[in-house]
Amino acid sequence: MSKTILVTGAGRGLGRTLAEQLTARGDKVIAHARSESALDGVPHDRKLVVDLAEPAAIADAVAALGLERLDGVIHNAGIAHIGLIADQPLEHWERTLAINVTAPAELTRVLLPALRAARGHVVFVNSGAGLSAGPKWSSYAASKHALKALADALRGEEQPNGVRVTSVYPSHFATDMQRSVREQYDADYDPSRATSPESIAQTIIGLLDTPEDMVVNELRIEPPNPLPIRARN
């Protein structure tokens, strides 16, 4: 049966791959991006255009969709600033927390009536940094730790309503963000030693298809032979 799935950050990378794979199998995709042009060439049934850096705008944007039922939302959008705490300005912290934490919380809140009606599934694309933080990862890791807390709280709150919640922790997969992180870290990047977006997307879609009598609360994903993120000497 066809499902209706909202994918954030659908303009590129994993989000775009998710939109392509979901559409190819017959699902209806609500594709999110911060601009209309970002969705050029992205297969979708409807679109949600809103800047997640401005969470106050989310409620009105979602209301315009008129959703009564929603089978799933995949919180994929995110940003990463890599640097020493001593060097990261306030703007980096505010923007990272707004996009990576506050926006998913607000978007989930306004979508809950539609998710409850469909006994839907909320998937948070987290990160290995959401479980352990190292030097230069402070703002990004803090946001991902907070995203884990959001998912854990939501899971407990929505169990009586039939809404399932999964946190996915992919590590070292081939996206523009991974390239950007390694550039900021002055580290080497080898896409052949990273998991492909297609594999990650396939796994996430598989989570949406789990039987109704089970839920995968957390899932860690990493390539068999990842290239460590280490600054060049």
The secondary structure of 21-73 as a DSSP string is HHHHTTPEEEEEESSSGGGTT---SEEEE--TT-GGGHHHHHHTTT-S--SEE
Number of folded domains in the chain? 1
Query: What pLDDT score does 233 carry?
Result: 65
Any domain includes 221: no
**Domain boundaries, position 146:** 4-211
Collect the ranges in the chain with pLDDT lower than 50.
Answer: none
Any domain includes 202: yes
* 3-class secondary structure, 84: coil
Any domain includes 26: yes
Any domain includes 29: yes
pLDDT tens, position by position, 11-37:
999 999 999 999 999 999 999 999 999
Output the domain CATH number for residue 51.
Answer: 3.40.50.720
Task: Specify whether the CB–CB gap between 43 and 7 falls below 8 A.
Answer: no
Any domain includes 107: yes
Any domain includes 216: no
pLDDT tens, position by position, 71-109:
999 999 999 998 999 999 999 999 999 999 999 999 999
Any domain includes 227: no
Q: Beta-carbon neighbour count of residue 29 at 10 Å? A: 24
Alpha-carbon gap, residue 8 to 49, rounded angstroms: 10
Structure token digits, residue 70: 């929603």
Any domain includes 159: yes
Classify strands 164-170 and 218-221 as parallel, antiparallel or unpaired: parallel
